[in-house]
Amino acid sequence: MLDYDARVFRSVANSDGGDVDDETTFHYHQHDDIVWATYAGGSVVFGTLLAKADTFGNLDMRYQHLSVDGNFKSGRCQSRPESLPDGRFRLHERWQWTDGAEGQGASIVEEVSRR
Protein backbone atom coordinates (compact mmCIF):
# COMPACT_ATOMS: atom_id res chain seq x y z
CA MET A 1 0.00 0.00 0.00
CA LEU A 2 1.16 3.53 -0.78
CA ASP A 3 2.18 5.40 2.38
CA TYR A 4 0.70 8.92 2.27
CA ASP A 5 2.21 10.02 5.59
CA ALA A 6 4.14 13.34 5.43
CA ARG A 7 3.52 13.79 1.70
CA VAL A 8 2.60 17.23 0.35
CA PHE A 9 0.50 17.65 -2.80
CA ARG A 10 -0.46 20.65 -4.91
CA SER A 11 -3.29 20.95 -7.43
CA VAL A 12 -2.29 20.93 -11.11
CA ALA A 13 -5.74 20.65 -12.77
CA ASN A 14 -9.39 20.93 -11.79
CA SER A 15 -12.80 21.07 -13.45
CA ASP A 16 -14.86 24.24 -13.47
CA GLY A 17 -16.89 24.48 -10.30
CA GLY A 18 -14.10 23.26 -8.03
CA ASP A 19 -12.48 25.51 -5.42
CA VAL A 20 -9.02 23.93 -5.46
CA ASP A 21 -6.42 25.57 -7.73
CA ASP A 22 -2.64 25.74 -8.22
CA GLU A 23 -2.29 27.72 -4.98
CA THR A 24 -3.91 24.97 -2.88
CA THR A 25 -1.52 22.74 -0.91
CA PHE A 26 -2.47 19.48 0.84
CA HIS A 27 -0.51 18.06 3.81
CA TYR A 28 -1.21 14.31 4.15
CA HIS A 29 -0.92 11.96 7.13
CA GLN A 30 -1.66 8.25 7.51
CA HIS A 31 -2.12 5.56 10.15
CA ASP A 32 -2.83 2.06 8.84
CA ASP A 33 -5.53 2.50 6.15
CA ILE A 34 -6.81 5.84 7.51
CA VAL A 35 -5.56 8.93 5.63
CA TRP A 36 -6.22 12.56 6.52
CA ALA A 37 -5.00 15.93 5.34
CA THR A 38 -5.34 19.65 5.85
CA TYR A 39 -5.36 22.00 2.89
CA ALA A 40 -5.39 25.72 2.19
CA GLY A 41 -4.55 28.27 -0.47
CA GLY A 42 -6.20 29.97 -3.41
CA SER A 43 -9.99 29.87 -2.95
CA VAL A 44 -9.72 27.77 0.21
CA VAL A 45 -9.13 29.42 3.59
CA PHE A 46 -8.78 26.04 5.37
CA GLY A 47 -9.98 22.51 4.77
CA THR A 48 -9.73 18.94 6.00
CA LEU A 49 -10.19 15.58 4.38
CA LEU A 50 -10.60 12.08 5.76
CA ALA A 51 -10.14 8.97 3.66
CA LYS A 52 -9.84 5.22 3.76
CA ALA A 53 -7.10 3.69 1.59
CA ASP A 54 -7.38 0.32 -0.10
CA THR A 55 -4.45 -2.03 -0.79
CA PHE A 56 -3.67 -0.21 -4.06
CA GLY A 57 -3.58 3.24 -2.45
CA ASN A 58 -6.95 4.33 -3.85
CA LEU A 59 -8.71 6.74 -1.52
CA ASP A 60 -12.40 6.98 -0.68
CA MET A 61 -12.57 10.42 0.92
CA ARG A 62 -14.82 13.07 2.34
CA TYR A 63 -13.71 16.69 2.44
CA GLN A 64 -14.86 20.00 3.89
CA HIS A 65 -13.53 23.52 3.77
CA LEU A 66 -14.21 27.20 4.30
CA SER A 67 -13.92 29.15 1.05
CA VAL A 68 -12.61 32.71 0.76
CA ASP A 69 -16.17 33.91 0.13
CA GLY A 70 -17.08 32.73 3.65
CA ASN A 71 -19.04 29.62 2.66
CA PHE A 72 -18.67 26.14 4.14
CA LYS A 73 -18.52 23.44 1.46
CA SER A 74 -18.20 19.67 1.61
CA GLY A 75 -18.06 16.73 -0.74
CA ARG A 76 -16.83 13.27 -1.55
CA CYS A 77 -13.97 12.14 -3.76
CA GLN A 78 -12.47 8.97 -5.21
CA SER A 79 -8.73 9.26 -5.74
CA ARG A 80 -6.43 6.94 -7.72
CA PRO A 81 -2.63 7.22 -7.35
CA GLU A 82 -0.13 7.13 -10.21
CA SER A 83 3.60 6.69 -9.64
CA LEU A 84 5.69 9.24 -11.58
CA PRO A 85 9.14 8.41 -13.04
CA ASP A 86 10.89 10.66 -10.49
CA GLY A 87 9.33 8.80 -7.53
CA ARG A 88 6.60 11.35 -6.75
CA PHE A 89 2.91 10.54 -6.92
CA ARG A 90 0.04 12.03 -8.89
CA LEU A 91 -3.55 11.58 -7.70
CA HIS A 92 -6.38 11.39 -10.25
CA GLU A 93 -9.58 12.45 -8.52
CA ARG A 94 -13.31 12.37 -9.23
CA TRP A 95 -15.17 14.67 -6.85
CA GLN A 96 -18.75 15.72 -6.13
CA TRP A 97 -20.12 18.46 -3.91
CA THR A 98 -22.56 17.28 -1.23
CA ASP A 99 -23.20 20.56 0.65
CA GLY A 100 -22.60 24.26 -0.01
CA ALA A 101 -22.20 23.91 -3.79
CA GLU A 102 -23.48 21.82 -6.68
CA GLY A 103 -21.75 19.83 -9.36
CA GLN A 104 -18.99 17.33 -9.87
CA GLY A 105 -15.72 17.09 -11.72
CA ALA A 106 -12.19 15.75 -11.99
CA SER A 107 -8.96 17.05 -10.59
CA ILE A 108 -5.28 16.13 -10.46
CA VAL A 109 -2.90 16.82 -7.60
CA GLU A 110 0.83 16.07 -7.69
CA GLU A 111 3.26 15.47 -4.90
CA VAL A 112 5.61 18.38 -4.29
CA SER A 113 9.28 17.39 -4.69
CA ARG A 114 10.85 16.13 -1.49
CA ARG A 115 13.98 17.98 -0.48
pLDDT, position 41: 97
Per-residue pLDDT for 115 more than 60? Answer: no
* CA-wise closest residue to 90 among 30, 24, 15, 12: 12
Asked if 43 and 22 count as a contact pair (C-beta separation under 8 A), the reply is: no
pLDDT, position 114: 66
pLDDT, position 65: 98
Distance of CA 84 to the CA centre of its chain: 17
Q: What is the pTM of this model?
A: 0.94
> What domains does the chain contain, in order, with CATH numbers?
8-111 (2.40.128.30)
Rg of the chain taking only CA atoms, in angstroms:
13
Q: Span 60-67, mean pLDDT? A: 98
Tell me how far apart the alpha carbons of residues 44 and 103 are, in angstroms, rounded to a whole number: 17
pLDDT, position 113: 78
Tell me how far apart the alpha carbons of residues 42 and 21 are, in angstroms, rounded to a whole number: 6
